[in-house]
Structure 1
Amino acid sequence: MKRVATGLLIVMAAVFALARAYEDRYPALAYVKAFAEAAMVGGLADWFAVTALFRHPLGLPIPHTAIIPRNKDRIGETLANFIRENFLIPAVVARRMQNIDVAGAAGRFLQTPAGEGNRIRAGASRLIADIFESLDDERLGGIVKGAIATRLRKMEVSPLLGHALASAINEDRHVPMLEAAIRWMARALDANEPLIRDMVHKKANWVLKLAALDTKLADAIIDGLKKLTVEMSTDPAHPVRIRIEEALVQLANDLQTKPETRARVEEMKDQLLDNQSVSLWIDALWQRAREAMIKAARNPDAVLAGKLGDVMKAMGSTLERDARIRAAINQFARRAAVGMAASYGGSMVKLVSETIRGWDANTVTGRLEAAVGRDLQYIRINGTLVGGMVGLVLHLLDGL
């Protein structure tokens, strides 16, 4: 477009020269000369105006030229203020978000069957997989494990354990665990019967051994313990079971209310987190989770084709059909967007202004000229043609 505009200016100069040379022989060429003369004036004036925006015309330091390079910081501030006042004000964001159905869009997206050309899902999946594979596994794993450990250390688990235990007891969900513990005790008793007999034999004095009473004592102990486990497993009202349940109730209450118990549990938690085996276990969990996420991201259609896909589709259908849930989600999205605008709008605007301020003058000039330069060259072309028409009209009026 620069070449077209400049070429048109050169053409007008050639037409002017030819018309002036043959004007005496052909008087009608005076109108052509007037058109070409005014066109050159208009084209040169607009060339000066367009060039003065980005640089000094012909390199001459004429006042009020090279406007953009000299005022790039002010332009950055003005652009940043424009973005803030028209896009990042909480009231503006809230008004725009009122017409956006985030929940409905999410519902339709979740219901999209796998393998139907969902470019968003495919692109997002590739991006997630590439990110997880490119990040330093050791450093990222350390960050994740450190975050988990820090969160667990800050979280007081005693009240949670106490509340969970109390809820389980109130709903009799502890009974299967108690019966499983009784069965485990019975199996442990059978497996360790020789050990019990050996312990009784070692503890018995020589009189009992001489009379072979240590064997009978061991038999009595083992038989009594076996009878106890059988009675506990068959009788829900057995006194020992009742005492165990009372102890569990007391433990649930102590975990929630007793400072000494809570302190001991927290100390045990810290010791557990400091254990190397627990660290290795968390590391193994992270590796399996990372591999599963990469595998799922590499083949999202296969993952979403099974039960997970059915669950996602059901969620999407619920989002579209349930007006109450959709309204709640849309309200949450609107508040989140407004909150981000209020909290981070200033930072976003500052990023724009500081980025432009950090550019050198040539960078600003080049980017803006590349964005609007074509239209500015049309201004030069229009200036040439409009200038010629004005010159022709003035020549006609002068002749009249």
Structure 2
Amino acid sequence: MNVFARTGISRLSPVQSGAAGMRVVATGLLVVMACVYLAARAFEDRHPALGFVRAFAEAAMVGGLADWFAVTALFRHPLGLPIPHTAIIPRNKDRIGDTLALFLKDNFLTPTVVARRMYKVDVAAAIGRFLDNPDVTGEGRLRQGASRLFATILDALDQERLGGMVKSAIGQRLRALDVSPMLGQALEAAMKEGRHLPLQKSIIDWAGQTLAANEDLIRAMVHERANTLLRWTGLDEDIANAIIKGLHKLLFDMADDPDHPLRAKVNEAFANLAFDMQHDKEMKAKVAQWKGVILDNPALQRWLDGLWEQARSGLLKAARDPDAVLAGKFGEMLRQLGQTLQHDVKLRTTINRFARRAAVGATASYGDGIVRLVSDTVRGWDAHTVTGRLENAVGRDLQYIRVNGTIVGGLVGLTIHALNVWL
């Protein structure tokens, strides 16, 4: 147990200690002036100079007492007496809160003031300097603290609920996305650039491999459908071989000839499909239906689960060890971005304009809310809390006023007494 607990004295902040010390000084000076006045009055007849001392002490007491009354009347009733127009701050705390809120609104939280201030702030350059060298001027500690805070928040959140929110958001975005025109445009662009040809060749190769693997199935089908005469003469086998050979030749010709008529038909089908996906309502509806089936597939949900877990693990790893992340390619990219922000005037101007508009927009949207927050907070404080906080904030200076009042009052009394003696 510390000395404050043993003695029953609460620990005071430096501001409170300073105010209390000056209160002792001001009160002690007033007591000294009272003692000097009593002593000078008792021995005033023994020497003329004591009259000046008495006049100084008398006026100093008046000045000190007047300033003590004025200072005390701000926060409470002097001597506990309900004197009118005292305890000004406790009685007017709501009006003080409203006035403070209006002061903030008129002088700080107006779009014009914020815009004028933001013109002087180079946000882009500051971000660029931080990204270029985040370890200077203590910013490394700031980065470490922000990283730990982010990691703690991310780790403390309900992962199942958070993952569900992320998956739900992704799912809603995908369901709201009209993918049919996008697929049609992508297919159309691929055909114009010839990027669909490898796909065609892959399909032809796959068809050839499938045909070779299922030749026995084709022979069995021809044998089952052939009549008894064809089977007895063995012509069914010749027909099956001819069909298989013809199909193989067709596929070989298509693979070797990019201008093969069947390839042209496939290209025409692709072109029609690309057009329909962009302009045909029925095709768009079918694509949307297929998209819904895919999104409802449990396999896709498991894939989203794994994607979220990978993203979360990566974020946690980066947040817990930002130095390792910044030491790699990602860090090099950030440093290059920082250098670009510092030297690219056009980009810096664009970012600063965005920051300025964002700040002005936030002020316009939330300035009144901040003002109400200040006003409601002050209104919610009890009178003792308001008095204590304001007295702690300005108490030391107010006690200096008492000291000055005592000294100035004494000097005025001394001057008046001197003029009275000399004139």
Report the TM-score when normalising by structure 2: 0.84
2:101 to 80, 105, 119: 80
Conservation of the 8 A alpha-carbon contact between 1:319 and 1:326: yes
In the alignment, which residue of structure 2 is the partner of 1:380? Answer: 402
- CA distance change for structure 1 residues 398 and 304 in 2, over 3 Å: closer, same or farther? same
**Conservation of the 8 A alpha-carbon contact between 2:43 and 2:50:** yes
Aligned counterpart, 1:66: 87
How many pairs were matched up? 399
Shift of 1:394: 1.9
Where does residue 311 of structure 1 map in the other structure?
333
Deviation at 1:164, TM superposition (A): 2.6
1:338 equivalenced with 2:364 (yes/no)? no
2:53 equivalent to 1:50: no
Contact 2:71 2:398 survives alignment (8 Å): yes
Seen in structure 2, the aligned counterparts of structure 1 residues 198 and 8 have a Cα distance that, compared at 3 Å, is farther
Tell me, which stretches of 5 or more residues in structure 1 are unaligned?
A: none
| Higher deviation after alignment, 257-266 or 315-324 | 315-324
CA 1:110–1:18 in 2, change beyond 3 Å: closer, same or farther?
same
Q: Helix, strand or coil for the counterpart of 2:45?
A: coil
How far 1:258 sits from its partner (Å)? Answer: 1.3
Q: State the alpha-carbon separation in 1 of the partners of residues 62 and 157 from structure 2.
A: 62
Q: Secondary structure of 2:44's partner?
A: coil
Aligned partner letter, 2:333: V
Range that drifts further, 168-177 or 43-52 = 168-177
Q: Aligned partners of 1:59, 1:195: CA distance in 2, in Å?
A: 113
Distance 1:397 1:131, change over 3 A: same
Asked if residue 144 in structure 1 is aligned to residue 166 in structure 2, the reply is yes
1:349 to 337, 349, 371: 371
- Residue 288 and residue 31 in structure 1: after superposition, are their counterparts in 2 closer, same or farther (change >3 A)? same
Q: Tell me: CA distance 1:360–1:328, structure 2 relative to 1, closer, same or farther (3 Å).
A: same
- In structure 2, runs of 5+ residues without a counterpart are 1-21
Task: Tell me if 1:393 matches 2:409.
Answer: no
Within 5 Å, which residues of 2 pair with 1:6-45? 6-45=27-66
Q: C-alpha displacement at 1:356, in angstroms?
A: 1.8
Paired AA for residue 45 in structure 1: A
Deviates more, 1:372-381 or 1:293-302: 372-381
* Alpha-carbon displacement from aligned partner over 1:262-301 (angstroms, at most 9, x marks no partner): 1222222233333333223222211111110111111122
Contact map agreement 1:114 1:305 (CA 8 A) in 2:
no
1:227 deviation in Å? 4.4
CA distance in 2, matches of 1:274, 1:321: 49
Q: Is contact 1:200–1:214 with CA below 8 Å preserved after alignment?
A: no
Q: Which 10-residue stretch deviates more, 206-215 or 49-58?
A: 206-215
Task: Measure how far apart 1:223 and its partner are.
Answer: 4.9
Partners of 1:209 and 1:3 in 2: how far apart?
126
Q: Secondary structure at the match of 1:130?
A: helix
Determine the structure 1 residue equivalent to 2:347.
Answer: 325
Give the share of equivalent positions with the same residue, in percent. 58
Residues in 1 aligned to 2:216 and 2:95: alpha-carbon distance in whole angstroms: 89
Q: Superposition pairs for residues 1-400 of structure 1, below 5 Å?
A: 1-112=22-133, 118-187=140-209, 192-193=213-214, 196=217, 200=221, 204=225, 207=228, 223-400=245-422
CA distance in 2 between partners of 1:84 and 1:57 (Å) = 35
